[in-house]
Amino acid sequence: MSTNEKKALLFCSCSGACPSMAKIDFWALSERVRLELGDKVEFMALHPRLCEEDGERLMKQILNPSMKFITPACAEKRQEKLLRDGFAKAGVPMDETHWLPVSMAQEDTNAVFEKIKTALEQ
């Protein structure tokens, strides 16, 4: 198995109160991912604010260069800016081998599930 075939999911729920994620049921989403896609995921984790210092500390602990991290969070361009320090602290490059952003902005639970499913097939 090459190093980037292992995938992990790192959700950011944007405090759980962001209007752009109001249609997402994170409990239902994570359980559906676990049941239907769990065999494709090394692990999944959720943090409410990955772009804050405590979120970056989590990233430093769990990101590693042997996996690709799929990050369902805000819009891809925002993630590129806001997650940069967390990746840097973990020493993991934000390139195609190690990172695949998924935007949950303005989406509902089912749409995010389908995006994650597609991301795991890439």
Nearer to ligand SF4, 40 or 78 (CB): 78
CA 5 to chain centre: 16
Which of positions 12-31 make contact with ligand SF4 (CB under 6 A)? 12, 14
Rule CB under 6 A: choose which of 10, 51, 58, 67 binds ligand SF4: 51
What amino acid occupies position 122?
Answer: Q
45: exposed, middle or buried (Cβ count in 10 Å: 0-12, 13-18, 19+): middle
Q: Which of 6, 23, 78, 115 binds ligand SF4 (CB under 6 A)?
A: 78
φ, ψ dihedrals at 107, nearest 5°: -105, 165
Per CB under 6 A, residues contacting ligand SF4 are 12, 14, 49-51, 73-74, 78, 82
